[in-house]
């Protein structure tokens, strides 16, 4: 009798237990840069290094993002930079790919009860150094560029809303970076462009 009662309680509680599950996070398209104008460089090879190490602790949130700036910058290098041949090499070094979270002040009292506040600000930064190196690994030319972008999110945002904001933040940051790096490449690596 007790087994039947336990089974009956389990069956009755099953819908409530399944309602408590965390909803699946959103899925996002692959972030690529093949649609961008390629940068053709007279080098024999291109190497991409990500020197930025994710701290996996607050205030950083890169490890929670669907696409963090570091991997996005690596993908930019793979999609946009093209070697056209030569004895030198192009080395792309990602020096910063951080995203930090800052808590924002919420309204309190009666005003706060009827207001949906922006409760977190996410500040993203990408910084890259591009070096032309000889076969002996001596620098011949260097170009550097960075981009920053920030966004805020409302206190009632779901996990899917937050992940969507992070994805868009990375996408827009990389668009800003693409715009910032091209003049630097032309100015400092111009003799190697083809």
CATH code (residue 90): 3.30.160
32 lies in some domain: no
Q: How many domains does the chain have?
A: 1
63 lies in some domain: yes
105 lies in some domain: yes
6 lies in some domain: no
Q: Which residue has the higher pLDDT, 26 or 132?
A: 132
Provide the residue range defining the domain that includes 70.
37-192
| pLDDT score, position 50 | 97
| pLDDT score, position 6 | 54
| pLDDT score, position 118 | 83
pTM above 0.85, yes or no: no
Q: Is 173 exposed, middle or buried (0-12, 13-18, 19+ CB in 10 A)?
A: buried
57 lies in some domain: yes
Q: Give me the phi and psi of 73, to 5 degrees please.
A: -65, -40
163 lies in some domain: yes
């Amino acid at each position: 009798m007790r087994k039947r009662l336990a089974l009956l309680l389990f069956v009755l509680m099953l819908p409530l237990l399944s309602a408590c599950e965390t909803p699946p996070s959103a899925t996002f398209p692959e972030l690529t840069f093949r649609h961008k104008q390629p940068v053709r460089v007279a080098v024999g090879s291109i190497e991409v290094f990500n020197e930025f190490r994710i701290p996996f602790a607050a205030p950083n949130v890169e490890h929670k993002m669907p696409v963090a700036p570091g991997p996005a910058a690596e993908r930019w290098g793979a999609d946009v930079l093209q070697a056209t041949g030569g004895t030198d090499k192009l080395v792309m070094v990602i020096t910063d790919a951080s995203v930090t979270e800052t808590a924002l002040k919420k309204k309190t009292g009666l005003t706060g009860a009827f207001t949906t506040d922006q409760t977190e600000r996410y500040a993203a930064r990408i910084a890259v150094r591009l070096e032309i190196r000889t076969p002996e690994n001596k620098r011949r030319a260097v170009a550097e560029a960075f981009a920053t972008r920030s966004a805020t999110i409302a206190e009632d945002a779901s996990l899917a809303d937050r992940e969507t904001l992070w994805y868009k933040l990375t996408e827009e940051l990389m668009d800003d970076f693409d715009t910032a790096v091209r003049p630097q490449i032309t100015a400092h690596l111009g003799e190697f462009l083809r």
